[in-house]
Amino acid sequence: MSLLNKYPSQVSAFLKVCHQLSAKMYVTGFGGNLAWRLEEEVILITPTMLNKGEIQAQDLVFINPEGETIEGTRRPTGEKYMYLKFFKERPDIKSVIHCHSPNVCAFSIMEGDYLMKPYFPETTHEVGPVPVVPYAEPISPKLADNFSDYLQNYNTFLMENHGLVSMSPLGIDWTHMNVELLEMTAYSLIQALATGKKIKTLSKEEVRNLDNVVQKRDCPMFGAPGVHKSLLDLYFPPAKY
């Protein structure tokens, strides 16, 4: 049985996210890519040089953890090695989206660590802090290597002067939702910054209380399993409180 036929619901969800990212202009031209680990040895990934709004089931590619194509007629994205690094170093991760959502990307060319701070409850407990990964040439080993210092502690990353990467231990739908949440936060933050007034963040106590929401909603904690026990570990590291 072909992998397309073995995973019809996942293929459908994957295509839906591709098309939604394109419709919202979170990806343009050939930009952006997605990957979803369906089995230990099976990764569903987008093809290279194809607009995400035009991708159909027959265009999708399945690769193994070594990057070898196991099904599909097109070549996988040139950034497949970045995804392979993610899946290798974070065995808990199932799905990853790289896109160029415009408001989030505005912060990739700004100085400061704005997206590392807690502003809204949903973004704080579902997306988490977003560190800036230093710039490197796209589709290069250096770009993948630059994630090494961040992968164990976070699930979402802003690539300097480039774009957004978000991953999760759940399906592609959850990761896409996190991308939308972060884009909303970035838009609101840009609007607030434009007023010239001071930006308010959630307090330490308010962030601590969000741990209750994480437990009630069974949301995955950010970073590799066991690295963080509380949202406080991420937003208020021990040295600071």
Instruction: Write the pLDDT tens digit of every residue in 184-238.
Output: 999 999 999 999 999 999 999 999 999 999 999 999 999 999 999 999 999 998 7
Check whether domain 3-240 has CATH 3.40.1360.10, yes or no: no
Task: State which H helix or E strand residue 34 sits in.
Answer: strand 33-39
Residues in CB range of 68: below 8 A, 6 or more apart: none
DSSP 8-state secondary structure symbol assigned to residue 158: E
Map tokens 């607009």 to a residue: 51
Exposure string over 12-21, b if 16+ CB within 10 A, otherwise e: ebbbebbebb
Give the CA-trace dihedral at 211, 216, 220, 222, to 10 degrees.
-10
Mean pLDDT, the chain, rounded, equals 96
Q: How does residue 239 score in pLDDT terms, banded at 50, 70 and 90?
A: low
Instruction: Write the pLDDT tens digit of every residue in 96-126.
Output: 999 999 999 999 999 999 999 999 999 999 9
